[in-house]
DNA sequence: CTAGCAGCGCGACTTAAGTCACTGCATCGG
DNA sequence: CCGATGCAGTGACTTAAGTCGCGCTGCTAG
């Protein structure tokens, strides 16, 4: 019991929302949290459901997404440990605007709305932190809107590849190599399109000599040429 | 002088953010605000600029939008008196994520970041209100994303028409009549497309017998048929 | 070992979306 | 009265996006 509480307090202290709080305060909050476990593929909640509390990810990954009638998905965010999920409905009392699913086995610290709101009233600095986190979220959403309405799938894909190469790539004689983090289908969901287009566009980039593609293994042969395509109006 | 302050206090008291505050508190805040005037078409701020304070609309309308390299616009929101604009950068310290322009002559109450943040620390309930407002904004953005990635322009246009008919329409013998609130170009910007498609889709709906279109005057002849098109997967 | 399944490649096709170029039409200021 | 200007309608066209169907591979559970 006590062990669990100390553990939770440590987790809470590492989240963006609550960093900077003192140990006793974290303890107090931890005593109000519930630990929830989700296995990979399990839904944390669905779009439209009422929201009763705040989810903080202690372990695992969570994908936030919308689904269309025809079954297509649009990913809004993928969240990792230390981040919180669905802060907003906690405060405006509305339903969840999107669904969330665990994409790895996950452990969630859950705090009820009432408790967290009360805590914010007593600790205004926490409320301001929440605003910062929400701000980052809102910026990402605006970015998604910008991409969806102004760019082609080709450009979105290139942008994603460049980002992956820069963060998780290793330099070799042939260029910058890295693995796609998931299936083409998943990548398509994140870019708001369908599997075939990912496939086709990757092949096209290969044909243009910018990439080498071998299933999920990507070798960027011409990083400059690739990045250059992001700037052009075409 | 005094007259101005009382006036401002009244304005502030009507905003969603600050409703429920006592007169003296409003006075205090009002004494910190600056009144700014913008004529129609004038920019309040541009995407990427640093943000130094909160804008509250006292009079007029403001459009929030993103612009692409090729000159196309995507409208994120149109805000009216009593609403605030760009609450977020005030709290996370980042630049404006989009641009804002007055689409009517407008009067803005402006409060500096420092003052408003300090006020939130002293009055946590205001911070919670801000979170509610931001929540509503975020929901709208998610809605835009959903529309952009799942629906056709035809459907978005129909949705816009239905909304307009329900809010600003009058029932007549021929059906529900209303005026388009702006030019086709402006409507296109809000739906994330180009003028021609608005024109064509309106014509198509007319050809299908659902509408009568005469320039900006619209008569919805078959509201049920129109709404029905929103539900279908097609 | 093999039947089944998930992920991927790919061609053929349909359709939504956008571009270009032009016309007509009203309004407004000289 | 007239040219300029801004808005709307429209045809012809190009291209991006998405759909369908099928075949190939490699893995793994029965």
pLDDT digit string, tens, across residues A61-78: 999 999 998 889 999 999
The answer to whether A159 CB is within 7 Å of strand D is no
DSSP run (H or E) holding B120: helix B113-122
Question: Which two tokens mark A221?
Answer: 């042969």
What mean pLDDT is predicted for residues A30-54?
A: 92
For residues B130 and B17, the answer to whether their CB atoms sit within 8 Å is yes
In sequence order, what are the residues at sequence separation of 6 or more whose Cβ sits closer than 8 angstroms to the Cβ of residue A163? none
User: What global pTM score does this model have?
Assistant: 0.92
CA distance B163 to B193: 18
Q: Which residue has the higher pLDDT, A168 or A46?
A: A46
Pairing of strands B73-79, B62-67: antiparallel
pLDDT at A11: 81
- Asked whether residue B2 carries a pLDDT value surpassing 50, the answer given is no
CA distance A202 to A153: 11
Q: Which of A56, A63, A64 is nearest to A87 (CA)?
A: A56
When the candidates are 1.20.1300.10, 3.30.565.10, 1.10.10.10, 3.40.50.280, the CATH number that belongs to B151-231 is: 1.10.10.10
pLDDT at B24: 87
For residues B105 and B76, the answer to whether their CB atoms sit within 8 Å is no
CATH 1.10.10.10 fits A152-231, yes or no: yes
Give the end-to-end CA distance of chain B in Å, rounded to a whole number: 60
- For chain A, say whether B234 makes contact (Cβ under 8 Å): no
Mind telling me how many Å the CA of B125 is from chain A's nearest CA? 7
CB contact under 8 A, A138 and B134: yes
What is the percent of chain A with per-residue pLDDT over 70, rounded to a whole number? 96
Residue B48 burial class via C-beta count within 10 angstroms: exposed 0-12, middle 13-18, buried 19 and up: exposed
When the candidates are 3.10.20.90, 3.40.50.620, 2.60.120.10, 2.30.40.10, the CATH number that belongs to B2-149 is: 2.60.120.10
Nearest by CB to residue B138, choosing from A132, A138, A233, is: A138
Please give the C-alpha separations between residue B111 and each of A132, B44, B86, in angstroms, as whole numbers.
19, 14, 12
User: Per residue in B16-48, pLDDT tens?
Assistant: 888 878 888 888 888 899 999 998 889 999 999
Mind telling me how many Å the CA of B17 is from chain A's nearest CA? 13
- Residue A43, φ and ψ in degrees, nearest 5: -80, 130
Domain ranges within chain B, ordered by starting residue: 2-149, 151-231
Interface pTM, i.e. ipTM? 0.91
């Amino acid at each position: 019991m006590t062990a669990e509480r100390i553990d939770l307090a440590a987790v809470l202290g590492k989240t963006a929302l609550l960093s900077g709080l003192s140990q006793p305060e974290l303890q107090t909050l931890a005593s109000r949290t519930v630990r929830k476990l989700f296995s990979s593929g399990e839904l944390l909640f669905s779009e439209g459901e009422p929201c009763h509390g705040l989810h903080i990810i202690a372990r695992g990954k969570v994908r936030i997404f919308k689904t269309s009638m025809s079954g297509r998905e649009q990913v809004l965010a993928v969240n990792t440990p230390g981040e919180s999920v669905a802060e907003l409905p906690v405060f405006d009392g509305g339903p969840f605007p999107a669904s969330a699913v665990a994409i790895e086995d996950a452990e969630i610290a859950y705090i009820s709305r009432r408790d967290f709101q009360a805590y914010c009233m007593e600790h205004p600095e926490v409320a301001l932190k929440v605003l910062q986190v929400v701000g980052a979220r809102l910026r990402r959403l605006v970015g998604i809107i910008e991409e969806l309405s102004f760019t082609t799938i080709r450009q979105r894909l290139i942008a994603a590849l460049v980002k992956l190469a820069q963060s998780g790539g290793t330099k070799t004689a042939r260029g910058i190599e890295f693995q796609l983090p998931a299936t083409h289908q998943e990548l398509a969901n994140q870019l708001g399109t369908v599997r075939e287009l990912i496939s086709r566009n990757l092949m096209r980039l290969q044909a243009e000599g910018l990439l080498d593609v071998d299933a999920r293994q990507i070798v960027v042969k011409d990083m400059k040429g690739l990045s250059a395509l992001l700037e052009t109006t075409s």
